[in-house]
């Protein structure tokens, strides 16, 4: 297993994971723009030269915002999401982190709670009609 920065050659694999496992899909250009930003931290995880997960965090003022995290279904349940999350924490950015997660994504909400996030709000219809987001925060 190796965790490293996402590069443009990784984007087709990132998009495949996005389409397979995420609720809110990003188009190619969103990912392309994000990996070029100076205020973003874009990491991916490889296993045997195959990209199996990714995480994107952006610094917004004095906060970090977890924008996307995804692990290929074949690599889920093996602690890979945790390894990606731990990698961003090891950067010692020392800022609180915020995120939005679909209110029906119980597995993700449990993951975030295990990692010290607490619910601080809700965004109604964030993912479309009657599809709400839970807003969570982790203080560092």
Q: CA 113 to CA 129: how far, in whole Å?
A: 26
Residues of the chain within CATH 3.40.630.30 domain(s) are 2-95
Tell me what the pLDDT averaged over the chain comes to: 94
For 1-51, the pLDDT digits (tens) are 899 999 999 999 999 999 999 888 899 999 999 999 999 999 999 999 999
Q: Are 44 and 14 in contact (CB under 8 A)?
A: yes
pLDDT, residue 93, reads: 87
Superfamily (CATH) of domain 2-95: Gcn5-related N-acetyltransferase (GNAT) (3.40.630.30)
Instruction: Copy the structure tokens of residue 108.
Output: 């993700």
Structure tokens at 20: 């397979």
Q: What is the pTM of this model?
A: 0.91
What percentage of the chain exceeds 90 in pLDDT? 85
């Amino acid at each position: 297993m190796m965790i490293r920065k996402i590069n443009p050659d990784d984007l087709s694999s990132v998009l495949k994971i996005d389409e397979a496992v995420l609720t809110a899909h990003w188009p190619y250009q969103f990912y392309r723009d994000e990996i070029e930003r100076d205020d973003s931290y874009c990491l991916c995880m490889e296993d045997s030269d195959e990209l199996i997960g990714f995480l994107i965090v952006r610094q917004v003022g004095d906060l970090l915002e977890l924008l996307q995290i995804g692990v290929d279904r074949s690599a889920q349940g093996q602690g890979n999401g945790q390894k990606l999350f731990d990698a961003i924490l090891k950067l010692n950015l020392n800022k609180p982190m915020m995120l939005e997660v679909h209110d029906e994504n119980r597995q993700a909400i449990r993951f975030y709670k295990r990692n010290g996030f607490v619910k601080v709000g809700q965004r109604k219809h964030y993912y479309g009609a009657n599809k709400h987001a839970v807003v969570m925060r982790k203080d560092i």
